Structure 1
Amino acid sequence: MRRTLPITLAATLLTGALAACQGGGGDTGSSSAAFDPATCQGGTLSVLNQGGINHLDPARLYTSGGGNIPSLLFRTLTTRNRLEGEAGTKPAPDLATDLGTPSDGAKTWTYTLRDDIFFEDGTPITAADVKYGIERSFAPELPGGAPYLRDWLVGAAGYQGPYKQPEGITAIETPDAKTIIFKLSKPEGDFPFLATATQFAPVPKARDTGVDYEKHPISSGPYKVESYDPKKTLNLVRNENWKKGSDALRYACPDRIEVTSGLDAAVINQRLTTGAGQDANAVTTDAVVGPEQLAQLGTGSELDKRVARGEFPSTTYLAFNTTKAPFDNPKVREALSYAINRTSVVNALGGSAVAGPSTTFLPPQKALGYKPYDFFPAGESGDAAKAKEVLAAAGLSNLTIELSHQNDDSEGQGPKVAAAIQDAFKQAGVTVTLNAIDSATYRDVTGKPATQPGLALASWGADWPSGGPFLIPIFDGRQIITAGGSFNLAQYNDPEVNAEIDAINALTDPAAAAARWGALDEKIGKLALVIPLTHEKDVYLYGKNVKNAVPDGWRGTYDLARVSVK
């Protein structure tokens, strides 16, 4: 998925995910008292956010790893391991007793539910509830969820949800109340990662009210909805029927959580910095640190003690449409790769605290299979001489190209980055005209082959920490969608690469799969189908009374299920 400044719950409140050390990780708050998950309960946590809470239905949320707010309300078959660093990139059992049992070459996955799991009304959660929750996510009345299951489940591509087809999905079997079996059309070793998605949250059929369900979704997590005003506020209180003994990963420290949306990022950061009154108990899940606060960090100020630094696996890049001249010429793509000035791009994005230069498409995270390479060395500021040399050898001079970008900088694909690229290419003798496209329609234009420009700014973030969801949408030729919504902007379709993707998908050993994803990234990188620009770094502030705000390797920010204000 793309990491953007949020406009929906799925992309905002949900993108956070933290994990502190299990059993009482480090104290990252300003108080000298050590954090203890057994005694952290109490107080009210405030969440100050930019993005509005448009939807609160698990079927409509595009998030894996349980997200941040959803993870407080909805338990799924698996969840994030909620540990800092590399350990936090792994899935862990949640409603299920383990990560699932693969069979038939990873085309069948079987899960057994725990015994001590309940909805907020005290009703035991069953396999049928999980199946029904998944089936709801196929309903056209409830759009927005992750699309994987429509492709992965046998015979599910045309399913229209339980309201139109109450017979359900036959590829999901529930032979008893504790067992759920998934039949897939092809091997999928990453299924335990997908099972963290909110689509896998149980929904009691008797309580389903269709499109109105999100007004008060039935909780399976440590908190339940007290009140919800879409796009404005969400107030959560404890779910008395959540059993702490069944859920070691969620500490559920605050007694109450109050989310306020629609705030300006500068206001959020100023309130967190000052920490007056209830703001001392505040966090944010979508307002990264602004320039004013960044200038204070690293100086030994009090603010240095209240900053969480993580990395969400995301790459900003230049996307070539290789069906259009001159980008159908590999030498043009190579020359521009040599010319790029990544330092100026980093500066345009806000500096080295929030972005790092990338020469690989996979970000520098072991779980993804990251393998260093740089086939077109540009140095820190671009190699204009080498770029001119490559163009001259190809008989190309006085080249003029157009670069499409968003018309604002909110998603890191706007005028500032475009201007930095324009200047770098100018040094190599390439004239760049800029084409600003309304951010609201940018994905519609660039994602449809018929309207896709020749060169465009883009970004991609992994749905879970694996090379598959990073490379497949961008380079699998079977992912080219002519009707629109395509992310394979190179329109690259190599049967050998497609076959290697299938072979890696069949692996159930994450380490073995990671090595193969890294090798595939390297192979594709030689073709200069994209120019990787930067990888994301995340810097979030938190209030003076907040403890255990430790980022993990999955989402790059702290986890509301583990922070404390006591």
Structure 2
Amino acid sequence: MKRTKSLAAVACVALISTLAACGGDGGGGGGSTPSDQKFEEAGAGFAKVADAEGPAPEIEGAATGGDVTVYVPLDEGPEDLDPTNGWSVLGNSIQQALTHRSLTQYRKNDESGEMELVPDLATDLGTPNDDFTEWTFTVRDDVKWETGDPITPEEIKYGIERSFDSETFTSGPGQVYSVENIDCGDGYAGPADGDCSGITVEGQDITIKMVKPFPDMDFWGSFMAIGPIPLENSDFPAYGRKPLSNGPYKISEFRPTESLTLVKNDQWDPATDPARHQYVDSWTFKFNQDQQKTDQILLSDSELSSTAISYRLGASNATDLKSKLGDNYIQQTGQCVSYRAPDYTKITDINVRKAIAWAYDFDNVTLAGGNIPGVTRIPASTLMPPGMSGRKEYFPDGEQFTYQPEKAKQLLEEAGQTGMTLTYVYDDSDATLKAAAEAEKKGYEAAGFKVEMIPYQEDYYALYDDKDSDINKRLNLRNVNWCSDWPSASTMIPPLVQAGQPYNTAFFDEPDVQKAIDDIATLPAEEQPTAWGDLDEMIGTEYFPLIPLAYRNELYGAGASIGNFNGDGAMSSINFKDLFVTQ
């Protein structure tokens, strides 16, 4: 799942330059780091509670009422709200918590503090056959749309079929998980091709046949991309401007790149929902906010600050914010990695790709981008993040990449590429993002590269996916920020290196890697983690198509009247489901 600036940097939807893609400190760099903080590693998995029932466990001390404003610095938010398109940390963490339900979902276990997979629209977590090539879910018969109309299994079938439409939903997750796993026949491309015979409905049961074993269907079931879609009046893009809600809140107003306002949905029944609450009266999300101004709101004692949440805290104010906010200052882990993606079709020499890695000035780029080295970012070496099952600790060039311009310069000379030009886009709309890009440029130039930076303020991923774009044709260095969709490398490696995937921004394609991905899916489930770790090492040492830059933590904050403020380890985000306003 992408981390984005505009909606997901692959999650920020319009990415900026690498580390800055998911935000930058409006103060223009520097940073005052709390002395007791360090990077936290994510856990390896989530428990499953198949028999969880609604209503969700009450939160101690929770009160009903109040209006919450969420400030989102340096991120333009979702371009649309169509559930089939949803594949970003920010967008999914809002919609899946508050407005859109699917077959399964996550909730936070109050005792352990860990996330767990529980039913949602389904009565349990699904029943697979012995080899995981067929799954059956029983859909609840007591859930409704905001209109009062019942949600039907046929609408879930239609939602799954819709996820195959990669021409309409060019960056949706269905391209990876539905197309690659669900048996709708060769070339099936969504409802325009008619009925998918591999998805059948009988009464309240929906049965999904797979083209290969898919033991993670219960996790894929948590995505709103395969949740219900009305059979009528749901054409894209109109539906994405105000889709029908079936969660505790519904959309009052959506202004792309500016704001999203949610109000209570009176057709949501808490007795049907094992995880969500409806404590807050309304939510207002304000996108693309200035980092310094947002920090100052939380540092003030104004009435505005008490019910404010910041979706990102600036590094330069971190110490003061930690002192001011107390328990409402949180550091959230996640299986998230930032990468640079040299164009594999243009930068064909592995040693030149390694030269780029040695020329990346991690500390200065991180600080200039408003992040905190050692706390919110640590240097990366592998495709898989720490905490992911099967991950192997290895170094593509024998040791951890650090900023060594002389070593990079030597590799360039040996490759006969001294003076090679690196061309990439950057967002010049914010001083912090521009500063991070300039720091990166300076590091490359010191290593003997020439650099061409192209100002670009729109959706980076849409640009990278547009093969006809004159700008995209000029690029030989792109980026991607990625978080696992669930705790498996099957959601980390294929989206980034499998040929034809929208977030394979390096345009990497090697037959033995593609075969290995296919082969791993046929292994017994208990053998797959080790196989993914071996493949990660093979990709990194033999091909090195992506430069892992940083493993990520994020800082979030909330005002004094926000109760039960905590993080969501499944989404690498804020846990919006359980928040309330103290009265």
TM bracket (short chain): 0.7 to 0.9
- Distance change >3 Å, CA 379–CA 470, structure 1 → 2: closer
- Distance change >3 Å, CA 414–CA 516, structure 1 → 2: farther
Instruction: Name the structure 2 match of 1:518.
Output: 533
Instruction: Name the structure 1 match of 2:201.
Output: 174
How big is the shift at 1:224?
A: 2.8
Q: Quick check: 1:504 aligned with 2:514?
A: no
What letter corresponds to residue 42 of structure 1 in structure 2?
G
Q: Quick check: 1:320 aligned with 2:342?
A: yes
Instruction: Name the structure 1 match of 2:554.
Output: 538
Instruction: Name the structure 2 match of 1:32.
Output: none
How big is the shift at 1:558?
A: 1.3
Aligned counterparts of 2:475 and 2:215: Cα–Cα separation in 1? 35
Q: Quick check: 1:103 aligned with 2:129?
A: yes
Aligned counterparts of 1:435 and 1:3: Cα–Cα separation in 2? 22
Contact 2:328/2:566 (CA < 8 Å) preserved in 1? no
Contact 1:78/1:95 (CA < 8 Å) preserved in 2? yes
Aligned counterparts of 2:382 and 2:430: Cα–Cα separation in 1? 20
Instruction: Name the structure 2 match of 1:374.
Output: 395
- Distance change >3 Å, CA 279–CA 347, structure 1 → 2: closer
How big is the shift at 1:531?
A: 2.3
Instruction: Name the structure 1 match of 2:481.
Output: 460
Q: Quick check: 1:282 aligned with 2:313?
A: no
Render the CA deviation track for 1:427-454: whole Å, top value 9, x for unaligned: 55x3333332534375466556786567
When the two structures are superposed, what TM-score results if normalisation uses the length of structure 2? Answer: 0.77
Instruction: Name the structure 2 match of 1:51.
Output: 76
Match of 1:296 among 314, 320, 340: 320
- Distance change >3 Å, CA 449–CA 269, structure 1 → 2: same
Aligned counterparts of 1:375 and 1:196: Cα–Cα separation in 2? 34
Aligned counterparts of 1:449 and 1:141: Cα–Cα separation in 2? 16
Instruction: Name the structure 1 match of 2:3.
Output: 3
SS at match of 1:356: strand
SS at match of 2:493: helix
Q: Quick check: 1:187 aligned with 2:203?
A: no
- Paired positions, count: 530
How big is the shift at 1:142?
A: 7.0
When the two structures are superposed, what TM-score results if normalisation uses the length of structure 1? Answer: 0.79
Aligned counterparts of 2:239 and 2:415: Cα–Cα separation in 1? 60
Instruction: Name the structure 2 match of 1:492.
Output: 509
Aligned counterparts of 1:343 and 1:10: Cα–Cα separation in 2? 23
Gaps of 5+ in 2: 14-21, 23-45, 50-57
Aligned counterparts of 1:313 and 1:422: Cα–Cα separation in 2? 28
Aligned counterparts of 2:315 and 2:284: Cα–Cα separation in 1? 27
- Distance change >3 Å, CA 38–CA 203, structure 1 → 2: farther
Instruction: Name the structure 2 match of 1:69.
Output: 95
What letter corresponds to residue 440 of structure 1 in structure 2?
E
Render the CA deviation track for 1:105-140: whole Å, top value 9, x for unaligned: 333222122354333344443211211333445566
Match of 2:365 among 341, 345, 352: 345
Gaps of 5+ in 1: 24-34
Contact 2:9/2:88 (CA < 8 Å) preserved in 1? no
Contact 1:284/1:540 (CA < 8 Å) preserved in 2? yes
What letter corresponds to residue 44 of structure 1 in structure 2?
D
How big is the shift at 1:79?
A: 1.6
Aligned counterparts of 2:392 and 2:531: Cα–Cα separation in 1? 10
Aligned counterparts of 2:103 and 2:4: Cα–Cα separation in 1? 27
- Distance change >3 Å, CA 349–CA 9, structure 1 → 2: closer
- Distance change >3 Å, CA 501–CA 357, structure 1 → 2: same
Per mean C-alpha deviation after superposition, the further-off stretch among 255-264 and 539-548 is 255-264
- Distance change >3 Å, CA 333–CA 87, structure 1 → 2: farther
- Distance change >3 Å, CA 436–CA 279, structure 1 → 2: same
- After TM superposition, list the pairs within 5 Å mapping 1:86-235 onto structure 2: 91-103=117-129, 105-137=131-163, 145-148=172-175, 149-155=178-184, 162=191, 164=192, 167-176=194-203, 178-205=204-231, 212-214=238-240, 217-228=243-254, 232-235=258-261
SS at match of 1:366: coil
Aligned counterparts of 1:336 and 1:235: Cα–Cα separation in 2? 43
Aligned counterparts of 1:37 and 1:410: Cα–Cα separation in 2? 43
What letter corresponds to residue 36 of structure 1 in structure 2?
I
Per mean C-alpha deviation after superposition, the further-off stretch among 70-79 and 60-69 is 60-69
How big is the shift at 1:279?
A: 3.5
SS at match of 1:519: helix
- Distance change >3 Å, CA 85–CA 3, structure 1 → 2: farther
